[in-house]
Amino acid sequence: MRAGTETKGERTRRRIVDEAAALLNVRGYHAATLEELMAATGLRKGGIYNHFDSREDLVLAAYDRNVGVVAALLRSAFAEHRGAPERLHAFVEVYQRFVHEPPFPGGCPTLNGALQSRGTEPRLTERVRGVVHELLDDTVARIVRGGLRRGELRDGTDPDGVASVFVSSIEGALLLTELLGDATHIDHVAAHLHDYIDSIATSEELR
Amino acid sequence: MRAGTETKGERTRRRIVDEAAALLNVRGYHAATLEELMAATGLRKGGIYNHFDSREDLVLAAYDRNVGVVAALLRSAFAEHRGAPERLHAFVEVYQRFVHEPPFPGGCPTLNGALQSRGTEPRLTERVRGVVHELLDDTVARIVRGGLRRGELRDGTDPDGVASVFVSSIEGALLLTELLGDATHIDHVAAHLHDYIDSIATSEELR
Amino acid sequence: MRAGTETKGERTRRRIVDEAAALLNVRGYHAATLEELMAATGLRKGGIYNHFDSREDLVLAAYDRNVGVVAALLRSAFAEHRGAPERLHAFVEVYQRFVHEPPFPGGCPTLNGALQSRGTEPRLTERVRGVVHELLDDTVARIVRGGLRRGELRDGTDPDGVASVFVSSIEGALLLTELLGDATHIDHVAAHLHDYIDSIATSEELR
Amino acid sequence: MRAGTETKGERTRRRIVDEAAALLNVRGYHAATLEELMAATGLRKGGIYNHFDSREDLVLAAYDRNVGVVAALLRSAFAEHRGAPERLHAFVEVYQRFVHEPPFPGGCPTLNGALQSRGTEPRLTERVRGVVHELLDDTVARIVRGGLRRGELRDGTDPDGVASVFVSSIEGALLLTELLGDATHIDHVAAHLHDYIDSIATSEELR
DNA sequence: ACTGACGGGACACCCCGTTAGT
DNA sequence: ACTAACGGGGTGTCCCGTCAGT
């Protein structure tokens, strides 16, 4: 299929996913009922089930869409920075900006998916695991490995350790921010991580 | 009635809370059904409703119980250490040990409660908020303030910032550990926090 | 047993009936739950079941008590009047006064019992039937028959017809009064019945 | 869609209301359980809840249907008579015929609704109040007012008083008839009311 | 005689999925 | 492709009754 060309069915499907994505991230991937999804999409049950075999399939598609938005933010941020320290700074800033200028309401979809899928939604849980693994290994740890290779980060820095710290503290801060309705937590954590980046960077230049 | 003596009802109630607490932390505070709670406690609906006015009340009691266990671990850890840096180290170690030698299965109840109460369980959410606030303000930030007064921590250290960083990164690490079934995340974060504590402590002595 | 002497058990039983009677006439003989009866009597379930084999038995006893109060009002009113027209006037006045100066809240127990026992409470229905039959045949119709014998009422007056009219219109008026919260209905009906009595009385003297 | 055409859903909904109306008037608007309604309509819960948001909504619709039948009987009776005395006679006869040739079993829905909604079914109670008010003010009292204007009824006749007497005694008679299974009560009351109408009519002609 | 504890059975409501229509 | 109609299972809650204790 050529870019820009969509059959009518595809357009409808896309619209369903878009509306569902917005709703689910706010109301909860598990809590939102099919009735609410019907109201959000303006379609009836049968209309939705024409495009998705089950509510779960729609939820997964919507989750992917929301995660994709965040991934795109990261990609575009990385496109502007080459060095490992810079990219790590950018990584933090993306999430910080995500809180203060959210591209869609409801907070971080990765976190929300992780929170709400416990036990009841195994396929979503699996999907979240994949996303988080990618965040850890293919994003943060990869940046660190590249930085080590290029000598931008101190020898002995553990890529996996950095990844754990970054993802843990950021997702934890998003959780606090969301739970308490207080954005200072992500700011405090961001400041800490910026310091941390500087402490493991070989370069002397201050940000 | 003498202290230390329990009527039959109190014993049963305690047993219900204990069994429910174990179940709910694993199955989910929201997902676990009353039927499962009946199976876990060995009582019928009538029996449970004799001790609790609603499923929600039981859930809250079970949540309190689980949170109380963690609080007790913290208290006993703090009882062995006086200085602020030592207490912060102990704080981290409690959570690290919590993962490796869990007093009950299912992970951190605070986190689980926060995860599963989104929107659907307002009273539980409120409870979690209280617990997290206590963790931030009355535990970590208070320790830091004491350390500043006594000159154990560097001037300029922000108690609230430290609290945000500690709670965020630890809860985030617990989330990763739980989600991915991989305890290295809490270990990485713990190591990082230990370093961080040393970096803000005035004392030169290494741990 | 001598009058005025009550064993402790009898006193408790009487207290249960009294409190239950007051509650049931207001909350409804069918709607009031055992929990409410417990609260009203200050006893626990077992305490009540010591005196009554079932909720239904207590309801019946309470109903009898309430009906007995009305019956006593009628008896004492009849004791002051000998002639049939006078007694019929008195009959009407008892119910009219019952509305304006109720001896207990909730309205006419006969009516309430009739209303609330439909289908679900067969024994109470049977009891109500008996009470209404007594009201029709042994009270109103009997007065009319006496009046006919003594020539106080016009020949050709049908005792059963008068009874139907009196009981129907009075109970109907109580229903309207209760349903709409408007006491004018019983007043209108009372005025009408007083006129009706005068129209079937042989005596010329106006009331 | 053309008038007079019913979709399948409308037909089913109508059938639900019809069957429910018949059942509820007999079994009781409060007592009849959803299971019984399912059996009566031949539908499952899901099918019923597709047409009604709650059991209460169905009950109200069924009540309205039954009341509507009685209202239609009154309207058609009034259509054949113009004068106030004639219409009052017709009013009485409608209810008398209602007992002897009931259009549906279970007796007068207005009465049944009033009886069974005490406290437990506030919306039904409100509905019944409206129906009774209409019966009093917009039906009987209005007829009397018209009769007074046209000089068909004696001056000094109180429309509200007549309404109270008519509705009270008829509903009371229906109550007795239903409670005791004895139709003579409505007949006695009807005879009385016919006499009463003649006594307040200016016309000399006997019925 | 009275309490506390527990069983057991309804009951109304929710919500996902599917199929007959159009 | 989309709607309306319907099935069916599960959920929390209510509430009466009973039985062991004391």
CA dist., res. C78 & res. C94, Å (int): 10
Cβ neighbours of B81 (radius 10 Å): 16
CA dist., res. B201 & res. B86, Å (int): 10
Whether B40 contacts B23, CB under 8 Å:
yes
Q: Does B33 touch chain A (CB under 8 A)?
A: no
Chains A and B physically touch (3 or more Cβ atom pairs below 8 Å): yes
Residue B153: helix, strand or coil by DSSP?
A: strand
Q: What percent of chain A has pLDDT over 70?
A: 96
Q: What is the pLDDT of residue B203?
A: 76
- Residue among B27, B118, B184 whose CB faces A28 most closely: B118
Positions of chain E reached by protein Cβ under 7 A: 1-22
For A61-75, write each residue's pLDDT tens digit.
999 999 999 999 999
In terms of Cα–Cα distance, which of C92, C114, C62, C111 is closest to C193?
C92
CA dist., res. A167 & res. D179, Å (int): 75
CA dist., res. C85 & res. D164, Å (int): 23
Please report, for residues B157, C41, D15, D80, the alpha-carbon distance to residue D62 in angstroms, rounded to integers and kept in the order given: 71, 38, 10, 28
Please give the helix or strand (H or E) that residue B132 lies within, else none: helix B122-133
Q: Does C200 touch chain D (CB under 8 A)?
A: no
Distance of D12 CA from E22 C1′ (whole Å) = 18
CA dist., res. B101 & res. D34, Å (int): 52
Residue C201, both tokens: 């009385």
> Who has greater pLDDT, C140 or C3?
C140
In terms of Cα–Cα distance, which of C26, C25, C121, C4 is closest to C67?
C25
CA dist., res. C42 & res. B189, Å (int): 59
Chains C and D physically touch (3 or more Cβ atom pairs below 8 Å): yes
Question: In chain A, positions 38-97, which contact chain B (CB-CB < 8 Å)?
Answer: none
* Four-CA torsion C160, C163, C164, C168, nearest 10 degrees: -170
Amino acid at A164: S
Q: Does C126 touch chain D (CB under 8 A)?
A: no
User: What does residue B84 show for φ and ψ, rounded to 5 degrees?
Assistant: -60, -50
Whether C166 contacts C193, CB under 8 Å:
yes
pLDDT (average), residues B31-47: 95
CA dist., res. C23 & res. B107, Å (int): 51
Task: Judge residue A123's burial from the number of C-beta atoms within 10 Å of its C-beta, 0-12 exposed, 13-18 middle, 19 or more buried.
Answer: middle
CA dist., res. B169 & res. A132, Å (int): 15
Whether C144 contacts C163, CB under 8 Å:
yes
Q: What is the pLDDT of residue C205?
A: 53
Whether C127 contacts C60, CB under 8 Å:
yes
Q: What is the pLDDT of residue D1?
A: 40
Least-confidence region, from A145-154, B66-75, C116-125, D194-203:
C116-125
Distance of C63 CA from E4 C1′ (whole Å) = 29
Residue C97, both tokens: 């006064």
In terms of Cα–Cα distance, which of C166, C157, C153 is closest to C193?
C166
Q: Is the pLDDT of residue A173 over 60?
A: yes
Cβ distance B115 to A116 less than 8 Å, yes or no, reads yes
In terms of Cα–Cα distance, which of C8, C21, C28 is closest to C67?
C21
pLDDT (average), residues A164-183: 97
Q: Is the pLDDT of residue A206 over 80?
A: no
Residue C17, both tokens: 């009936």
What's the mean per-residue pLDDT of chain B?
Answer: 93
What's the mean per-residue pLDDT of chain C?
Answer: 93
**What is the nearest CA distance from B140 to chain A, expressed in angstroms?**
14
CA dist., res. D106 & res. A142, Å (int): 79
Cβ distance A161 to B116 less than 8 Å, yes or no, reads no
Q: Is the CB of C8 under 7 A from strand E?
A: yes
Cβ distance B180 to A27 less than 8 Å, yes or no, reads no
Q: What is the pLDDT of residue C3?
A: 55
Distance of D185 CA from F11 C1′ (whole Å) = 49
Neighbours of chain D (3+ CB pairs under 8 A): C
- Residue among D114, D175, D185 whose CB faces C179 most closely: D114
Residue with tokens 């209905």: C185
Cβ neighbours of C103 (radius 10 Å): 11
Q: Is the pLDDT of residue C146 over 50?
A: yes
For B141-166, write each residue's pLDDT tens digit.
999 999 999 999 999 999 999 999 99
Distance of D48 CA from F7 C1′ (whole Å) = 11
Where does the pLDDT of residue B20 fall: very low under 50, low under 70, confident under 90, or very high at 90 and above? very high
Contacts of A175 in chain B (CB under 8 A): 111, 114, 168, 171-172, 175
Q: What is the pLDDT of residue B116?
A: 76
CA atoms A84, A85, A86, A87: torsion sign = positive
Whether C72 contacts C34, CB under 8 Å:
no
Please report, for residues A92, A163, A174, D95, the alpha-carbon distance to residue A171 in angstroms, rounded to integers and kept in the order given: 11, 12, 5, 74
From first CA to last CA, the distance across chain B in angstroms is: 49
For C59-107, write each residue's pLDDT tens digit.
999 999 999 999 999 999 999 999 999 999 999 999 999 999 999 999 9
**Three state DSSP letters for chain A:** CCCCCCCHHHHHHHHHHHHHHHHHHHHCCCCCCHHHHHHHHCCCHHHHHHHCCCHHHHHHHHHHHHHHHHHHHHHHHHHCCCCHHHHHHHHHHHHHHHHHCCCCCCCCHHHHHHHHCCCCCHHHHHHHHHHHHHHHHHHHHHHHHHHHHCCCECCCCCHHHHHHHHHHHHHHHHHHHHHHCCCHHHHHHHHHHHHHHHHHECCCCCC
Q: What is the pLDDT of residue B204?
A: 55
User: What does residue A3 show for φ and ψ, rounded to 5 degrees?
Assistant: -60, 145
CA dist., res. B27 & res. A119, Å (int): 6
Q: What is the pLDDT of residue B4?
A: 55
Give Cβ neighbours of residue A57 (< 8 Å, ≥ 6 apart).
none
Please give the interface size between C and D, counted as residue pairs whose CB atoms are below 8 Å apart.
Answer: 126
Q: Tell me which long-range contacts C137-142 makes (C-beta under 8 A, separation of at least 24).
A: C137/C163, C139/C74, C139/C91, C139/C163, C140/C88, C140/C91, C140/C166, C140/C167
Q: Where are the beta strands (DSSP E) in B82-166?
A: none
Q: What is the pLDDT of residue C120?
A: 82
Contacts of A27 in chain B (CB under 8 A): 119
Q: Is the CB of C119 under 7 A from strand E?
A: no
Residue C149, both tokens: 């014998």
**Three state DSSP letters for chain C:** CCCCCCCHHHHHHHHHHHHHHHHHHHHCCCCCCHHHHHHHHCCCHHHHHHHCCCHHHHHHHHHHHHHHHHHHHHHHHHHCCCCHHHHHHHHHHHHHHHHHCCCCCCCCHHHHHHHHCCCCCHHHHHHHHHHHHHHHHHHHHHHHHHHHHCCCECCCCCHHHHHHHHHHHHHHHHHHHHHHCCCHHHHHHHHHHHHHHHHHECCCCCC
Cβ distance D133 to C28 less than 8 Å, yes or no, reads no
DSSP per residue, D85-143? HHHHHHHHHHHHHHHHS-SSTTS-HHHHHHHHTTTT-HHHHHHHHHHHHIIIIIIIIHH
Residue B82: helix, strand or coil by DSSP?
A: coil
**What is the nearest CA distance from B82 to chain A, expressed in angstroms?**
26
For C153-172, write each residue's pLDDT tens digit.
999 999 999 999 999 999 99
Cβ neighbours of A161 (radius 10 Å): 18
**What is the nearest CA distance from B5 to chain A, expressed in angstroms?**
39
CA dist., res. A102 & res. A22, Å (int): 12
Where does the pLDDT of residue C1 fall: very low under 50, low under 70, confident under 90, or very high at 90 and above? very low
pLDDT (average), residues B70-76: 98
D44: which nucleotide lies closest, measuring CA to C1'? F7
For A93-142, write each residue's pLDDT tens digit.
999 999 999 999 999 999 998 887 777 889 999 999 999 999 999 999 99
Neighbours of chain B (3+ CB pairs under 8 A): A
Where does the pLDDT of residue A204 fall: very low under 50, low under 70, confident under 90, or very high at 90 and above? low
CA dist., res. B207 & res. D10, Å (int): 79
In terms of Cα–Cα distance, which of C206, C203, C204 is closest to C83?
C203
Q: What is the pLDDT of residue A64?
A: 97
* Low pLDDT (below 50) residues in chain D: 1-3, 206-207
Neighbours of chain C (3+ CB pairs under 8 A): D
In terms of Cα–Cα distance, which of C104, C67, C85, C102 is closest to C166?
C85
Q: What is the pLDDT of residue B2?
A: 43
CA dist., res. B181 & res. B194, Å (int): 23
- Residue among A164, A171, A188 whose CB faces B160 most closely: A188
Residue B137, both tokens: 């303000």
**What is the nearest CA distance from D8 to chain C, expressed in angstroms?**
34
Where does the pLDDT of residue A4 fall: very low under 50, low under 70, confident under 90, or very high at 90 and above? low
Closest residue in D to C113 (Cα–Cα): D115
Q: Is the CB of C207 under 7 A from strand E?
A: no
Cβ neighbours of B136 (radius 10 Å): 23
Cα radius of gyration rounded to whole Å, chain B = 19
Residue D135, both tokens: 């019966």
- Residue among A133, A158, A184 whose CB faces B164 most closely: A184
Residue B68, both tokens: 């109380």
Whether A24 contacts A59, CB under 8 Å:
yes
From first CA to last CA, the distance across chain A in angstroms is: 45
CA dist., res. D43 & res. D37, Å (int): 8
